[in-house]
């Protein structure tokens, strides 16, 4: 009964983890209600126009897209908000958005995507203005988030396998469910750490300021923030790693009866081996013979009634003083 309860608890935790991962995976695949609210990281550029105005000293016009449905990376203006998922990213203007093409292992390259949306005159200025910090290193950000995707997808598959194998009542499958849960927890953990570190490094752009000597500085106006998808990923990892303990307990419960049977069988086998190892002895008259021909003399066999005491010096229950061992003296035979 305890094993069934443990399996039930572990299955519930694995199911929770899998559901959370599914929601994380659908983030930003389109602009419908659920996907648009889930992202791994957000880039807000609503203040960049003001920052650029301070940096250049000229009015800024044509920086932002006027139509939220305009294609991305087509130099039709940047969006006020960019949200990145595992398979695509979306840009939004006043709540209206459009997403990029969907592909596995979508790379997080914010500066590259921003510059691709800008008109030619602003893209050159932006590249020259933002010349330091991890935010500008698209290769670093893209490569690490690309690698993290594959770890997350492996962890997601392992989570599903841990759930389904744990539901089937078989000792080997219980072992596999534990193994899948451990492997899934490890890969999800590494993937979550990579994404978290990448976002923290990209957030260095939040402290970037512009201005002229002798005048107050102004924030650049581009801010990076953690999306809800990261929290879903960490929650899924927590649920999966907690499920490992019930899986292991249930596996131990199922193995208990098997262990007892194995111990009993081992004991019986050991006893049989010990008995078979005892030498075989045959008797002929007053002599015992072992398998190798060794002869032993039976010195005497006698019976005395309980409670009866005899004082006969030749009693068979006492060693006679004139007894000659024929094994020691062959002439006594």
pLDDT beneath 70: ranges in the chain:
1-7, 169-171, 247-333
Give CA separation, 141 vs 135, 196, 199, 203, in Å. 8, 11, 9, 12
- Using CA atoms, how far apart are residues 186 and 180, in angstroms rounded to an integer? 10
pLDDT confidence of residue 84: 98
- Using CA atoms, how far apart are residues 59 and 51, in angstroms rounded to an integer? 11
Residues paired with residue 296 on neighbouring β-strands, in sequence order: 288
- Using CA atoms, how far apart are residues 149 and 112, in angstroms rounded to an integer? 20
Please enumerate in sequence order all residues whose Cβ is within 8 A of that of 229, keeping only pairs 6 or more positions apart, or say none.
Answer: 24, 27, 38, 39, 40, 85, 86
pLDDT confidence of residue 254: 47
Q: Give tens-digit pLDDT for 285-328.
A: 556 666 666 665 555 544 445 455 555 655 554 544 555 555 55
pLDDT confidence of residue 295: 65
Q: What is the pTM of this model?
A: 0.73
**Number of neighbours of residue 176 by Cβ within 10 angstroms:** 19
List domains and CATH numbers for the chain: 2-256 (1.20.140.150), 279-333 (no CATH)
Q: Give tens-digit pLDDT for 12-30.
A: 999 999 999 999 999 999 9
């Amino acid at each position: 009964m305890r094993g069934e309860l443990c399996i039930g608890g572990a299955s519930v935790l694995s199911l929770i983890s899998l559901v959370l991962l599914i929601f994380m995976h659908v983030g930003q695949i389109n602009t419908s209600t659920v996907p648009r609210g889930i992202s791994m990281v957000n880039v807000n550029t609503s203040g960049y126009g003001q920052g650029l105005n301070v940096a250049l000293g000229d009015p800024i016009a044509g920086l932002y897209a006027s139509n939220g449905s305009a294609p991305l990376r087509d130099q039709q203006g940047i969006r006020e908000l960019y949200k990145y998922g595992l398979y695509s990213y979306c840009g939004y203007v006043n709540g209206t958005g459009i997403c990029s093409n969907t592909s596995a292992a979508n790379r997080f390259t914010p500066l590259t995507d921003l510059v691709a949306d800008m008109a030619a005159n602003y893209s050159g200025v932006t590249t020259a203005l933002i010349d330091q910090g991890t935010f500008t290193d698209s290769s670093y950000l893209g490569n690490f988030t690309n690698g993290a995707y594959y770890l997350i997808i492996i962890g997601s598959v392992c989570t599903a396998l841990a759930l389904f194998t744990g539901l089937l009542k078989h000792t080997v499958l219980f072992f596999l469910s534990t193994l899948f849960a451990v492997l899934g927890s490890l890969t999800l953990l590494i993937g979550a750490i990579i994404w978290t570190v990448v976002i923290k490094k990209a957030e260095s752009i939040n402290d970037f300021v512009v201005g002229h000597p002798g005048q107050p500085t102004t924030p650049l106006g581009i801010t990076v923030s953690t999306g809800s998808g990261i929290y879903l990923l960490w929650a899924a990892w927590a649920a999966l790693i907690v499920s490992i303990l019930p899986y292991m307990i249930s596996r131990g419960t199922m193995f208990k009866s098997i262990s007892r049977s194995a111990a009993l069988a081992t004991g019986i086998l050991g006893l049989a081996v010990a008995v078979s190892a005892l030498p075989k002895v045959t008797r002929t008259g007053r002599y015992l013979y072992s398998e190798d021909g060794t002869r032993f003399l039976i010195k005497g066999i006698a019976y005395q009634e309980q409670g009866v005491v005899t004082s006969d010096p030749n009693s068979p229950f006492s060693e006679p003083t004139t007894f000659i061992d024929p094994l020691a003296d062959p002439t006594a035979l």
